[in-house]
A and B are shown apart, each in its own frame.
Chain A
Amino acid sequence: MRLLVVEDYRPLQQSLVKGLRESGFAVDSTRDGREGLWYAMSNEYDVIILDLMLPGVDGLEILRKMRAQGKKSHVLILTAKDTVHDRVAGLDLGADDYLVKPFAFEELMARVRALLRRSYREKNPSIKIKDLRIDLTTQRVWRGREEIQLTPREYVILEYLAVRAGQMVSRSDIWEHVYEFNSTASSNVVDVYIGYLRKKIERPDKPALIQTVRGRGYLMGEKQ
């Protein structure tokens, strides 16, 4: 899943990016409001973590312009402003969640996951496709009773396909949601990771979970 962090306080920005990346997210980040606005308008992020007091353009202005342009990314406002008025202003402008600093990193992660589930209309933190089970909270995967060990990148691709189960997902879609803006990886890397995933989750005696749609992309589960 691809996230954008717009936070001007360097130590906080660095730790957020590090923590999110280590959890398997593709994270773009900036400390400048103008740059943050450009990132938000130019890409499709699953979740944007947005500070309010920013140099250049403030967070509320970024949010207003995003919504005015029809950008549907989920926005979590992360700020030191804690009054009811501030929260109401942020939520009324189209933010999906509001978290006041200082915060527990675990709580931020939980809120990000909740927003991601909302992105794909998935309320259950556990996805089941045939006998494959994915726990979105702990990021653990089972096939039948057997737990499957995945790398963070493999897990993120599997999760993205799972939350969009029944839909055809293109390579570029996958790439955009699991790789960062500055990533130099080509879209072929998606095929490589799909290959790794298949080796780990498919069983010769069981029906295939990931199907290739020739020339278009991949499909997980039954087609809707």
Chain B
Amino acid sequence: MMRSLRTRLLAGIIGGMILLLIAFSLLIYFVIRSALVNQFDTALTSVAHVLAASVEKNPNGIDLEIDIQQMPEFTNPHRPMNYQVWKLDGEVISRSPLLGTNNLPRFHGSLNKPLYKVFTGPKNHLYRAAGTMFLPTIEADKPEVAEQTAEQPLILVVSHDAHELYEQLNLLKWLLFTASCVNAGLALIIGGYVVRSGLRPLNTIAAEIAAIRIENLTTRIGARDVPMEVAPIKERLNELLSRLQASFDRERQFNADVAHELRTPLAGIRSTIEVTLARSRDATEYQTALSGCLGIAKDMESVVNNLLMLARLEAQQISFKTESVQLSELIDFCWRCFSKKADKRGIIFENQIPSELTCQSDPEHLSMVFSNLLDNAAEYSNDKGQIRATANRSDDSVDILISNTGCKLTAEQVSKVSDCFWRGDSSRSDAGIHCGLGLALVQRIVKALGGTFSTELNEGGIFITKVTLPTDGQKTIAA
């Protein structure tokens, strides 16, 4: 399922804000409600204390020593406050005049810790009431009363119309609800804008990436003012583009090189055939032309075979066998093909590899490696020069070095000799034989055999190729 980052961010921000708003609104509501109700109840309790203090017990009974008519809250019919006093057996001792014959709900706590209740009174108004139990005061000048009667606690309930209080609380509730809704709406709009502008750099980068094609891989993502968090993504993408471009360039160059390598021999074949067919000739001339074309075809076959070998090595499609290879013997065997050519130029070949030195490897592919190296050495050594094969054995590997004198390459050129189609000289007069694939092939074969290949140039123009092979054919030497 496609998950939109914008939707997720928006949902997270707005959902979080709504939850916070609800929580804060509830907190505000309940704090204010508690404060107002406490204030209301404290007033009720104060009145209850005053009334309780005014109830006196005398020989005639129990009297309220306060003039209710002087207390406006008990006489205001619009927002009436009422009280009622009972004995424990339920006998009503006193009640406020506005109650008439109606009773207040009877309940009680202690004088210090009254109980509070809400009930519905006249006009369907909500009333809050505080219920206490207390002992009436004994008149000070009549101590006999105290002696005559046992202590008889009384119940006092004081109520007050709380309609305004609950109306205010209701209003507060709606105010907070409305404010929350408005805030949620604003949060949605502002959050949407913030998320959209926050994600804009990503959209810009996406648009720039979408515009990049194979033809313009040199383009880089140039989005400016990219946020700190997105900058690494931009940099990594640009690095990826660089690698991609390098890879495409290598492929293009390789294709161009292949095409170039095949064009000249093709031109040779075509030109030879066209010139030959331009007029009637004797059999010898046709034979010469055909044999020339055959030579070119063999050159091309060599190039194509090398390319195929390279491709198969890259694709790891070649299987290698492992057996004990006597290195000195293999080098001598490979040298036979080039000895005649070297002798003609007075080149001396010395095989200094100990005859007992062996390694576990693939003899067929190793012979390709050494043939290429010896062929190059014989080709590029100076007249009356020297070619030498030596070897060094360590615990788990063996180095085979083939060196030749008379190297005219610079150190920089030597570092490139293993590149495909690289030649010291730009000519291709010996196309097919030295088309710049030999050392590239050597490098890849040696790598496939678990070894490493390197070249170096010593003082005095001695060119050295070094093949390092694992003595155990199953292992690999780290490059």
Contacts and interface: CB of A to CB of B under 8 A. Distances in A.
Contacts of A104: 270, 274
Grouping DSSP codes into helix (H, G, I), strand (E, B) and loop, the B interface class, with mixed when no group exceeds half, is helix
Interface of A: 8-12, 14-16, 18-19, 22, 31, 33, 53-56, 58, 80-83, 100-106, 108
A105 B274 CA distance: 6
Nearest to B425: A55
Contact of A9 (B270, B425, B429): B429
8 contacts: A9-B265, A9-B267, A16-B275, A19-B274, A102-B267, A102-B270, A105-B270, A105-B271
Contact of B268 (A12, A18, A56, A100): A12
A106 B276 CA distance: 12
B429 A11 contact: no
Given A16-B275, A56-B427, 12 more contacts: A9-B428, A11-B272, A19-B274, A19-B278, A53-B427, A58-B426, A82-B259, A101-B264, A101-B267, A102-B270, A104-B270, A105-B278
Given A53-B428, A55-B427, A11 B278 contact: no
B290 interface: no
A22 B425 CA distance: 33
B80 interface: no
B94 to A, nearest CB: 117
Contacts of B260: 80-81
B275 A11 contact: no
A81 B267 CA distance: 13
Nearest to B277: A105
Interface in B44-98: none
Contacts of B429: 8-10, 31, 55
Nearest to B279: A22
A102 B296 contact: no
A12 B274 CA distance: 11
A106 B259 CA distance: 23
A58 B425 CA distance: 9
Nearest to B261: A80
A11 B427 contact: no
A116 B442 CA distance: 49
A31 B425 CA distance: 13
Nearest to B271: A15
B295 interface: yes
Nearest to A11: B268
Contacts of B272: 11-12, 14-15
Contacts of A19: 271, 274-275, 278
Contacts of A12: 264, 267-268, 271-272
